Each structure stands twice: as structure tokens, then as C-alpha cells.
Chain A
Amino acid sequence: MSDSVPTQLSGLRRTPGSPHVRNSLSVNGIVLLYIVASIPCLMLGLWLTGSRWAGHEASLAEVLVTGCMLVGPRLIVLLGLGYGLAKLYGNIRHQPTDLGWLAVSWFFILLLPPTIDLVPAALALTFGLVFVLFVFGGQGMAPFHAALGAIIFLQVAFGDTGLSMQVAAEESVMSSWHSVLNGGASEGMDFGILSFQIGSLGVMSPALVILGGLFLIFVGVASHRFIFAGIAGAIVASLLLDPPSGSHVALAAWSGHLLVGNFLFVLVFLGSDPACQPLTRPTRWIAGFAFGSLTVLVRVLDPAHPEGTFMALLLVSLCSPLVDAAVVHIAGWRRSRQFYG
């Protein structure tokens, strides 16, 4: 690496020379903006979790306290674990600690059901942070989002115990699907953009996820290309695919694919994270579209996986560098053709 990688200068508050001024966006600032955008999702998750356990007669304060007591210990332990691992990594590598650990731990927690067992979750988070984030060099260098790595580890490694997580999450998604397909008969309401679903902590309201996404696009940190292409991909795939009869999504409209489950959450908070983004604009369009369509493909053709988002994002993230390389090659070829014929 050249001298422009100033790891020794990490403590500087003042520009050392030209450029004399810098904009106010930093890598840590991006992480914080993502977390701010997802706080409403967490708050709603706390409230809905609390109301489930405290009963319908409980007051708002009781509901929130119950929610915090259920989720709080997991939140504290997993965030503390993430911070500890990041400090350890920083000490070993003699590098300052950035906030990559916070983004990973935070979104990992939001993607888990509120009642997840702590030990497997901690193991999965450790796997995600160490083997997906830290060994590749930290924030901005991971091949895919480390929270995604942790979730997939949890699904693969603890498949037989449950792990209550997968079962709970997928069962809840199934119930949401039934709500969609039965016109709300089973839940007493139709599933729409303002509806709530029971499942992972952060994905309970599509409306709040959309608000978070709009906020991130407005402040200019999220890639709107990836998000809009993802939505387009899901719509196109759901219109084109002919689901096998008996599938739980056989009769679902395209809006069902967008709103039910964690599709929007993964698209907005994991897929569009600048630290794991494709490098070029064409690749962002392609990757977003591929993510949306692959998600619907998995959902429609594999009844065992009503979500499909994690595997779709993993595949897209791993293939993006190839598309990036092709885009760069084409850009070089076009430039060469422009000047040398």
C-alpha cells in the first residue's frame, strides 16, 4: 500500500495539508447513520415483543419494560462481545478501533428473534466478526456483510437444535404469508405496508424499514441504485415466475414479496451498506436486481425457505467483484477504443 494509507495518523483532528478541508462524512459516521435509521425498527420490536409477553391489558410502560427485559440482556451481551472482539483485534493489529463491529453486532441482533438463545447467537457473532470482518482487514474490506455471515453460520451450524431461531423466524414468516394469502382472515387484518409482523426483532414493520431507507438515501449514504433495483428485481421475478401449486406463496402478489419477511430490511440495511457495496454503479444496478429476483426465486421454488434473502445476498455479494471487474475492463476497453480505434 502507498503512503496515502495513513494508519499512523489516525489521531489527527486537523488536515495535515492539501486538501485543506474535508467533508463531515466519515466511515464511523456512516455506521452511526445506519444505526440511527434502524432505531425505530428496534423500538417497535421492543414494544411488540413486550406486548406479546406482558399481555394486551398491560400499560405502555409495562410493555416497554417487559420488552427491554427480554431483549436488553441479549443486546448488551452481544454488543459487549462485538466491542471486546474489536478491541482485541485492534490491539493485535496495532490499529485504531473503528465502528464496524457496531454495525455488525447491531444488525445481527435486529435480524434475530427476540427470544434467541444467547450462546449460539454469541458464537455466530464471533464467527461473523472474526472470519468475515477481521481476517479480511476490518470495516470496508469484508467480502460480504459480517452480520450476514453470522446469520448464515447460525442457520447452518445450529440447524438441528433449532435452532429456535430459524424455526421461530420461519414460522412467523409463514404466518405472515398466511395472512397475506387468506386476505387477513387468520389474523383479522390484511397484511399491508402499515401492518406488523412477528418475527425478527427489527423487521416487524415494513413502513419503518422504508422510512429508514428513505432517510439513508436522503442523507446520501445508502445506494439508491441497489435499493430500487432490488425492489424492481423482486417485482419482475414475482410477476414472471409461475409458482408450483401448493406453495405457500402460490397466490401471493408482488407486494407480498416486498413486505413480508425481512426482504426490505436486508435490502436497505445490509445490501446497501457502503462498506459492502459493489464498486461501480452498473454493478449496483445488476446486484440489486439479482438480489431481488433471487430472493423471490428461492421463496417460490423452495417451500422450505420462506425468506431466501440471506442466501440471495450472499450469492450476490460474492459475485459482485466479478461483475465489477467486468465493468472496469469494459470501461478500459471503451477508453482504449475511443482513442486508438
Chain B
Amino acid sequence: MNSDSTTVGIPGSDFPGVKAVLKVSEGDRVSAGDVLFQDKRDSRICSFSPVSGRVAQIHRGARRTLTSISIVQSGGVEQGATEVAPAIPQDRGALITLLLGSGMWARLRQRPFGTIPLTTVKPRMLFISAMDSGEGAPDPMILLSQEMTAFRLGLELFSLLPTEETVLCLQKKLSIQPLKTGALKQVTFSGKQSGSLPGTHIHRLSNPTPDNPVFAIDYRTVIELGQLLSGMTTEAEHRVEISGEGISRPGIYAATPGTPIKLLLERAGGSMDLPNIRVVAGPALDGRQISSANAFLGVFENQLRVLAETPLKGSRGLPGLPVFDRTSLLAKICTRDIFAPTETNMNGAFASMVPAESIERVWPHRVPVIPLLRALVTEDDETALALGALAFIEEDMSRVSWACPGKYNYGQALRAFLDRIQLDM
């Protein structure tokens, strides 16, 4: 039996902002539900072992950040956590305890900063995103209509978290009775690309600041919470679309978060060991680059893309001139298939930022994009704050970075801005 098939991993990227204090070491035996690590900022935030087995490897990255923990399981798969409150929580404190115990607190994201929030933080609004633009992602409306009872229950409970209102963002409105526990607002958004990002919803409907943060969560977690309290299985079906270079059977596969990516690629007829490829978990634009140290499926990742690496040296193109190859501008304009690239080509040299129309075409927000981007790269924090940059994280900037003729990385500039604001707090 392949050892990969019995290995489950927890990628550190599932825990943004967490400073992990490990409670296990390599070789330790763990049971399902045992604490693997705690957050140094707030010891109530923990990661639990999804299976029983032995801790195989703990990978750390730059500045001792956690890259991944892998566990070789022994015995049957026991997904889910153990310390689950059986009763339906009646107040906010009980809900937080339940979320922490079930590991669902780590699915919450706070804006600004895009991190897992501390349990002491009281958000003004909670954004529930019931939209998914991933090519292989299931239509949220199908799952919502199938699991409406569990979703309604989860919604009722999650609405205990914010002080003002819960905002449900979707493509078309659902008929949901008013909640008993808090105000619910349904807002529809259109657009397949940026329209489904939580940053788009949050920037449009609120102005988060460090003193007045908002939370975001995805609709699957809401359903899972409802299922957990209804006594149903807590495992919503997780599907992954696998495609790209060397994948002989591209398609949509069922997979549990934590599954080794090597195993998933082999299932689709591909391999991680091919030369000159880059495996990306998540969208090709801003997904997580997979290496041997973090090759496990993340909890929000529903795509695996294998991109062809561009040779570092080659004869294509003249020095100083752009490379117009198969991803050429005109071909893209003709096919309109601009977000389906297959190669990691820079397609040009780094240069000054020019206010090109290409950037504005991929920007879904009302605030002017070029002044915002200039404010980010020139560290003009006052303008960036005025234009609502605190509502964004890296994924909201991926499309403008893609479109920038000067080849800037605005996600990096935004993170530097957020770090400066966090330091000033």
C-alpha cells in the first residue's frame, strides 16, 4: 500500500496569522482530536489532529513559521474533532467555544489583515460568501438548496457573532425567513471572477478598520456547523478540479482536505515529479505553490493546476522585446480566454507602472484603481486608507498584478501596507 494513501497533512497556509506553538513532535502518537498546535496570540485557537496515527514530519519555513504537519494514520479514518458541544449554543460565548472545539474558528477570516481572528475580537459585520468562481467548484446554490435546513441553523448561530448584521453574498437571492438571533442582509453580486471574492463584497458594503473589523466565512462552514448540531455527518463533500500540464485525466475529483497532493495528481494521471512544472493549489493566478514540504490539500482549495515552467534561458524573443508566443495578446483578445494561462512566463520585463486600460478592465470596485495601486507601491498609506485598501488581501490584487504591463506584484505591496498598519496598532 502506498504510504501516501495513509498520510494526512495540515498545511500551515490554512492558518494565516497564527503563530504556532507545537504540542507534538515528530514520532509522537496522536489520536483524532488531539491538539497539534496552539496559537501563541490566543491559546484557545488550536489545530486538532484529524486522524489517529503517528506524527511523521513537521516542516517549518522562513522565520520558523509552520509549513505543514503530516500524520501517518493507523486504524480507520476519523475525520472531525472530538470536543464538540452537543447542545445548540444559546449565546455568543457558547458559540465561540463550540467553534473553537470543532476547529471551525480557524475557518473565519478577519478583515483587515485576512488572518484568523482572536476570540476577543467583536466584528461589526459577518460576511458569508456563497459564491465560488473556481472552474471545478460546485454551484453553491445546488448545495444550499440540498442542505437548506443545516444552512439555516448554521446561519442562525453565526449571526450571534457580529454586533450589527450578517451579510449573505450570493448570485441570486434565497427565500430565507428572518433570523431570530440577528439581522440578516442578502446581497447579490454578479461576475465570475472578482465578483465572488469576499474582498469585493467587504469593500463594497463596509469599511473595515483595525478598531472595527469584519469577519468573513464561506457557506460550506455554515452548512457544516448546521450539520454538526443536527447530528449529521460534519463532512461536506469537497471536490477538486485537477488540470494542466501532464494531467492525462483532467476533471473533478472528490478529496478530503489534508490529502497529499501527490496522490491526487496520480489519481488524475499526472505526477509531481515531472521536470519543469509548477503545481499550484487554488487558482492559477494566486494559488499556493506546492513543494514537497507543503504538498497537502488546504481546506479552501478546490483547484489543482499544473503549470509549465518557462525556461530560465532561451532563444525565444529578442532581447528587450516582449515575447509574443502562444499566449499572445491578440490570441487572448480573439478567444477572450484571458484567465486560462498555462505557463509561468513573465511575458515582459519589469518596468515602471503605467496606467494601462488592461488594469482597469479587471478591477471590479468603484474606487479608482491606479491611484490605489500607486499609493500602495509608493507607501502613501493615507491615500490607500481613504480608498479602502484595508478591505483587501493578496487575492484581491492578483488580477491587477496579472494585468500590469510593468509586472508589479501588488499583492506584495498590499501585504507590506497591511503589515505597517498592524505595526502601528
**Chain A positions near chain B (C-beta within 8 angstroms):** 1-7, 9-15, 17-30, 32, 96-99, 137-141, 218-223, 274-275, 277-281, 324, 327-328, 331-332, 335-336, 338-340
In the A-B complex, the 10 residue pairs with the smallest Cβ-Cβ separation, listed nearest first, are A26-B348, A140-B352, A332-B386, A27-B351, A21-B341, A4-B413, A29-B322, A339-B207, A279-B370, A280-B368
A24–B350 CB distance below 8 A? no
Identify A328's interface contact among B327, B356, B387, CB under 8 A. B387
B411–A22 CB distance below 8 A? no
A99–B371 CB distance below 8 A? no
Assembled-state Cα–Cα distance A186/B396 (Å): 61
Assembled-state Cα–Cα distance A156/B18 (Å): 64
In the assembled complex, B423 has its CB within 8 A of some CB on chain A? no
Contact A13 to B352, CB < 8 A, known contacts A328-B387, A332-B387, A335-B207: no
B371–A18 CB distance below 8 A? no
In the assembled complex, B254 has its CB within 8 A of some CB on chain A? no
In the assembled complex, B383 has its CB within 8 A of some CB on chain A? yes
B393-410 interface bits toward A, Cβ cutoff 8 Å, 1 = contact, 0 = none: 010001001110111111
Most chain B beta carbons < 10 A, residue from A5, A26, A27, A274? A26
In the assembled complex, B360 has its CB within 8 A of some CB on chain A? yes
Contact A275 to B354, CB < 8 A, known contacts A2-B379, A23-B403: yes
Q: What distance in Å separates the Cβ of B293 from its nearest Cβ neighbour in chain A?
A: 15
Write the chain A residue with the least CB distance to B382. A332
> Which B residues, 352 to 397, have Cβ-Cβ distances below 8 Å to chain A?
352-358, 360-361, 366-368, 370-371, 374, 376-379, 383, 386-388, 394
A277–B409 CB distance below 8 A? no
In the assembled complex, B179 has its CB within 8 A of some CB on chain A? no
B299-327 interface bits toward A, Cβ cutoff 8 Å, 1 = contact, 0 = none: 00000000101111110000011111101
A12–B346 CB distance below 8 A? yes
Known: A2-B412, A19-B402, A275-B352; 17 extra A-B contacts, CB below 8 A, are A5-B408, A7-B350, A13-B313, A18-B286, A18-B288, A21-B402, A22-B341, A23-B327, A23-B347, A23-B358, A23-B402, A26-B407, A140-B352, A219-B333, A274-B405, A328-B371, A331-B366
Contacts of A17 in B (CB 8 A): 289
Identify B355's interface contact among A222, A279, A331, A338, CB under 8 A. A279
Contacts of B411 in A (CB 8 A): 18-19
Contacts of A218 in B (CB 8 A): 333
Contact A26 to B312, CB < 8 A, known contacts A4-B377, A279-B371, A332-B386: no
Contact A279 to B368, CB < 8 A, known contacts A3-B416, A20-B285, A23-B332: yes
A27–B403 CB distance below 8 A? no
Contacts of A15 in B (CB 8 A): 344-346
A20–B344 CB distance below 8 A? yes
**Chain B positions near chain A (C-beta within 8 angstroms):** 206-207, 278, 280, 284-289, 307, 309-314, 320-325, 327-330, 332-333, 338, 341-358, 360-361, 366-368, 370-371, 374, 376-379, 383, 386-388, 394, 398, 401-403, 405-413, 416
Contacts of A13 in B (CB 8 A): 310-314, 323, 345-346
Identify A327's interface contact among B285, B309, B368, CB under 8 A. B368
Write the chain A residue with the least CB distance to B289. A17
A14–B310 CB distance below 8 A? yes
Assembled-state Cα–Cα distance A26/B321 (Å): 9
Q: What distance in Å separates the Cβ of B377 from its nearest Cβ neighbour in chain A?
A: 5
Contacts of A30 in B (CB 8 A): 354, 356, 405
Contact A26 to B405, CB < 8 A, known contacts A98-B349, A279-B371: yes
Write the chain A residue with the least CB distance to B375. A328
B379–A139 CB distance below 8 A? no
Contacts of A18 in B (CB 8 A): 285-289, 394, 398, 411
A24–B322 CB distance below 8 A? yes
B207–A4 CB distance below 8 A? no
* Interface pairs (8), CB distance under 8 Å: A4-B410, A17-B289, A18-B288, A23-B341, A97-B320, A219-B330, A328-B371, A331-B368
Assembled-state Cα–Cα distance A200/B91 (Å): 79
Q: What distance in Å separates the Cβ of B123 from its nearest Cβ neighbour in chain A?
A: 15
Contact A20 to B370, CB < 8 A, known contacts A140-B352, A335-B386: no
B406–A140 CB distance below 8 A? yes
A20–B358 CB distance below 8 A? no
Contacts of B358 in A (CB 8 A): 23, 25, 220-221
Write the chain B residue with the least CB distance to A21. B341
Assembled-state Cα–Cα distance A228/B402 (Å): 28
B284–A32 CB distance below 8 A? no
Contact A27 to B284, CB < 8 A, known contacts A223-B357, A332-B387: no
Write the chain B residue with the least CB distance to A273. B354
Most chain B beta carbons < 10 A, residue from A19, A26, A340? A19
Contacts of B324 in A (CB 8 A): 24, 29
